[in-house]
Amino acid sequence: MAQVEATTERVIAADAEAVFDALADYSGTRAKLLPEHFSEYEVREGGDGEGTLVHWKLQATSKRVRDCLLEVTEPTDGELVEKDRNSSMVTTWRVTPAGEGKSRVVVITVWDGAGGIGGFFEKTFAPKGLGRIYDLVLDKLATETQK
């Protein structure tokens, strides 16, 4: 099993603190940021950053749906880590200042991929597909925070 990694980043014309707060607001803003690939969104505990437990289904392809139950931590300033209780998937969101009134958002998702030929295809295509999904999330995050 090889580790699979998908990384997406964007500079957003909004203050890093405002961008981070929007991402960490699972009980409000976060649901607005999710494109149609996400369904059954539900905050089960907490709702604001560290200590949040959130559920959703992620439909990466027409045949692949991942049932996610994510524990949220904030290991450092400007960082949210979502660990899936149902799989090896971990998504890290990092928000850092990127000049006056701008912030850089980097989202990295890693998981243990399949072995064999299926693993080859997963490692080749899954990061691109997940990158497209997170591009949509970052588009909505930019729209929400650049008001």
Count H helices, E strands: the chain?
3, 7
Helix or strand or coil: residue 14? coil
Helix or strand or coil: residue 146? coil
Q: What distance in Å separates the CA atoms of residue 3 and residue 17, rounded to the nearest whole number?
A: 31
Q: What is the pLDDT of residue 115?
A: 75
Q: What is the pLDDT of residue 143?
A: 96
What count of residues does the chain have?
147
Gap between the terminal Cα atoms of the chain: 44
Q: What is the pLDDT of residues 102-125, one digit of tens each?
A: 999 999 999 987 777 767 666 767
Judged against a pLDDT cut of 70, whether residue 95 lies above it is answered with yes
Judged against a pLDDT cut of 80, whether residue 1 lies above it is answered with no
pTM (2 d.p.) = 0.91
Q: What distance in Å separates the CA atoms of residue 145 and residue 103, rounded to the nearest whole number?
A: 11
Residues 24-47 as b/e (b if ≥16 CB within 10 A, e otherwise) read: bbbeebbeebbeebbeeeebeeeb
